[in-house]
Amino acid sequence: MRITQAELGAQVGVSRQSIVSTEKGDYAPSVYLALRLARALGTTVEDLFPLTEEDPA
């Protein structure tokens, strides 16, 4: 699926800049936004935001 950052932002109700910040890891979305992003992209929150060993518990 090909979608622009602006299109994704419009689908989930945030700005393109919020999508860019989320992609870069500068912004951690709310659970609600993470769920909307996953639904819009046809995937899971776990796939979009995998935990790594460096992440605090």
Q: Domain spans of the chain?
A: 5-46
pLDDT band at 1 (very low <50, low <70, confident <90, very high): low
Residue among 41, 30, 33 nearest 13 (CA): 33
CB 48, CB 55: distance < 8 Å: no
pLDDT of res. 51: 84
Query: Does residue 57 register a pLDDT over 80?
Result: no
Mean pLDDT value across residues 21-49: 95
pLDDT band at 52 (very low <50, low <70, confident <90, very high): confident
Here the tokens at position 10 are 């419009």
Here the tokens at position 22 are 């989320």
Here the tokens at position 42 are 């046809």
pLDDT band at 17 (very low <50, low <70, confident <90, very high): very high
pTM attached to this predicted model:
0.84
CA atoms lying within 13 Å on the CB side of residue 1: 11
